[in-house]
Chain A
Amino acid sequence: MWKVIIRRILLMIPQLFILSILVFFFAKLMPGDPFSGLIGPHTDPHEVEALRRAAGLYDPWWEQYLRWLGNAIHGNLGMSYNLKEPVMTVIGHRAINTFWMSLLSVILTYLFAIPMSIVAARNEGKWQDQLWLTYNSITFGIPPYVFYLLIIFIFGYSLNWFPTGGTVSPDAMGIIPVFFSKIYHMILPAFSLAVFGTVGIFTYFRSGILDEQTQDYVRTARAKGVKEKVIFRRHILRNASLPIASNFGFVITGLLGGAIFAETIFGYPGLGQLFITSISGRDYSMITALILLNGFLGLLGALLSDIIMAMVDPRIRIQ
């Protein structure tokens, strides 16, 4: 198994390499460049030209790519054109914000979705089931950005219960107040993300439980005289959780994926928000780094999911 894992990790290198070429190429195809935004009525066009020349933007794209690649191999992903800081430093900062917020939202997602699915499946067709099915159809139908704006309007603006942006309040001093202030700032975006995350898990888990309930091995357990409660816990739930476990690798790596809509709308400075501002600012080095990061997370997520499946399901073996 370890051999397979190492081979799959090594296989990621060429995949990421190809991804980097594509990203670099397409980023250059976008109209404008990092310096377009600097031009105002009073700027000297010659100065901007000089900046572009100095940054090497007039070299052919493959030459720029090879330069970038040379640096990247040495662990240097370059400077952000717009933030004038090393790309790695910026991503590092934002990644921490995104990680904690995503973690909170994932925890909330499972806290909502799992009891919801169990209650719905155990009462199939009854009002409890109808209630959660309706609830999930509604959240599935609402565009997330509309929902986020609504949440901000109600809880941030009208009721004024939660802050509408940032990660920490400026007057929080000391470890504990900062910790609580950070949690306080995460709650709205994390909760809103969880509302949408719930739909997928609910749908899978509820139908998983319903499927497993009718399986032959459940009838065998009944024929053994096992009590219904135990059958549900020991036989049905365990088998019904497999599809959820199969997705868990992506959930783990997704903690660093960044939520583009949620972070932008809630003014939460994480990787998702950074991605959007980098694209609109044509921050080539940042865009490339972020997409590569996401590509890597995707590949890693698939590998992690396979490993998790091999651990929980004896029928599955990594090959």
Chain B
Amino acid sequence: MESENILEAKQVSVAFRIAGKFQKAIYDIDLSLRRGEVLAIVGESGSGKSTFATAVMGLHNPNQTQITGSILLDEEEVIGKTGDSMASIRGSKVGMIFQNPLTALNPLMKIGQQIKEMLAVHDVYPENQYESRIFQLLEQVGIPNPKRVVNQFPHQLSGGMRQRVMIAIAIANDPDLIIADEPTTALDVTIQAQILDLILEIQKKKNAGVILITHDLGVVAEVADTVAVMYAGQLVEKASVEELFQNPKHPYTRSLLRSNPSAETVSDDLYVIPGSVPSLSEIEYDKDLFLARVPWMKEEAQKVISEKMTEISSNHFVRGQAWKKFEFPDQKLKGGKK
């Protein structure tokens, strides 16, 4: 019987070798994903979203990184697998869609060849079905005139079309897990919705799990089942999408939601989170790192927290306890600056 959890990540830490020393980029990440679900990982640039996804794919350079913890992909341990044994999992069990479709395809290879390469690496489909499978995939991702496109080179296609090709490649071998790392960031706004819909449609059809990495909260609200919020390599909050948007707890989640423009926003100014994500060498993972960016919570930021995530209600996890004291400055002053 197939397990319910397609992905089970426990205490995953990734450290990069920087100037001879290993610096942790993500720390103690616990995440799981069920078949047929969409897990969104959000956070600003540098929060470690892609580092986690890359670890799941086993795409980190083993000489430059140290990965600890456990990542079970369909009950198979991924951490520690290198070289060809990892290569056989990539592309068959997990498919990945990257951020920039303009550079993600080999400029010298025809589209058909690039999809065929994916089929040929794994033995999911027999060789005599490659051609029909390629056409089927191109049709599935909504590419008009697949017969022409297979003989075209990437530069002859638009960004949206290229991302469709990338999706076709990612799903070619019917993976159980699809990782989409900011799949719409580099695309035109009008194309973004189409690409997202396509990913979801395929996910539903195949009953696959999807990890969607994004910093677009609008997208998250629309498509995710579960949301994990990351900050500076830590997981700070995790909940179902309704719970997280209606009842955000962690200061970082609340700040993120507040800095997102919406039709209901009354104020002329958008909320801005001061400062930026700390660099790897400054990070101390036993603290709640985001508090350093909240000027009126400086003493809280110094506190070492022992428990990482607390379940405050069913399936709603928050990091530390400091969130209980957090208030936005304008709420604190009753009425704000205006």
Contact = CB atoms under 8 A, between A and B. Distances in A.
B198 interface: no
Contacts of A239: 106-108
B87 A220 contact: no
B61 to A, nearest CB: 10
B103 interface: yes
B105 interface: yes
Interface in A217-241: 217, 219-228, 234-235, 238-239
A47 interface: no
B103 A223 contact: no
Given A216-B98, A216-B100, A223-B90, A238 B121 contact: no
Interface residues of B, number: 29
A217 B105 contact: yes
A224 B121 contact: yes
A319 interface: no
B59 A223 contact: yes
A239 B154 CA distance: 14
B244 interface: no
Contacts of B166: 220
B153 A315 contact: yes
A225 B89 contact: yes
B281 interface: no
Contact of A223 (B83, B96, B107): B96
| Most chain A CB within a 10 A radius of its CB, from B84, B87, B92, B121 | B87
B107 A220 contact: no
Interface string A182-208: 000000000000000000000000000
B106 A226 contact: no
**Contact size range, A:** 20 to 34
B92 to A, nearest CB: 7
B36 interface: no
B308 interface: no
A314 B153 CA distance: 7
Nearest to A223: B96
B91 interface: yes
Given A221-B117, A239-B108, A315-B107, A227 B84 contact: yes
A225 B122 contact: yes
30 contacts: A216-B98, A216-B100, A217-B104, A217-B105, A217-B106, A219-B98, A219-B104, A220-B98, A220-B104, A220-B169, A221-B117, A222-B87, A222-B90, A223-B57, A223-B91, A223-B170, A224-B91, A224-B117, A224-B118, A224-B121, A225-B92, A225-B118, A225-B121, A226-B87, A227-B87, A228-B87, A234-B117, A235-B106, A315-B107, A315-B153
The 5 A-B pairs with the shortest beta carbon distances in the complex, nearest first, are A225-B91, A216-B103, A225-B90, A314-B153, A217-B106
Given A217-B106, A224-B121, A225-B122, 16 more contacts: A216-B104, A217-B107, A219-B104, A220-B98, A220-B166, A220-B169, A225-B92, A226-B87, A227-B87, A227-B121, A239-B106, A314-B107, A314-B155, A315-B107, A315-B153, A315-B155
Interface of A: 215-217, 219-228, 234-235, 238-239, 312-315
Interface of B: 57, 59, 83-84, 87-92, 95-96, 98, 100, 103-108, 117-118, 121-122, 153, 155, 166, 169-170
